[in-house]
Structure 1
């Protein structure tokens, strides 16, 4: 029974495509990918994107600057998966501190990036993120056009 379960798990795992574009931080040391694509559902799940360069260094000091970099990183991850911002179904915005205190800085940038798309959005205030200097993290679920859905 365990062998059958292990074989099934391996088959499912082999079908999942891992997304790790060279422009984004390589999360292998943490056992993670920047994203995964499930070809059966036609969905891409991107890990939370922060204002890091490919070396894990924070770019930008304020919420607005970091939101711009995180949005650029989202674009890179989505394009590597064969998707785009236009295909985003859900966006989660994690903000260090009280969300309301930083909405004026972040919302215009998000609204511009997702103009006319209007994905489902949740804003979540958190006590900390990946590093002390990280102020915002953006996580999405999107469609991959042309992916074979079951």
Structure 2
């Protein structure tokens, strides 16, 4: 079995961190998207607020899905990590996710955490999706 590694040039290079933005299993047609954050090409958080970082992470997720031959409609599961208590941030995060991801209503898990990829990172979004074209 050959696993395809997805690393869109528009996003930061994950090599120094030992990751690809996604992997695709051609046998099952599944796409596994690494946690997407609001980083620029130099691994710096672009925005300071949770709302802005959610927007940036969602845009990066869509970029990775497109590069993997998938789309938002093919998301099977989302996992959203938020710094702090998840319930305290749902009013901020949920509308932005709906705006970017529409209403396909994938399975979703929200997890409150004490740390993420960098001290300034407030949210990270990972996904499992199906390939629609290859």
Counterpart in the other structure of 2:46:
59
Give the aligned partner of residue 93 of structure 1: 80
- Rounded to whole Å, the distance in 2 between the matches of 1:55 and 1:88 is 28
The answer as to 2:14 corresponding to 1:27 is yes
Larger radius of gyration: 1
Corresponding position of 1:126:
113
* Per-residue deviation, residues 6-43 of structure 1 (Å, max 9, x unmatched): xxxxxx3xx10000111111111122111100000001
Q: Structure 1-normalised TM-score?
A: 0.86
> Match of 1:69?
56
Q: Which has the higher helix share?
A: 1
Q: Distance in 2 between matches of 1:94 and 1:70?
A: 11
> Per-residue displacement from partner, 1:86-138 (whole Å, max 9, x unpaired)?
11000000000000111111110112222220000000000000111000000
Number of aligned positions between the proteins: 134
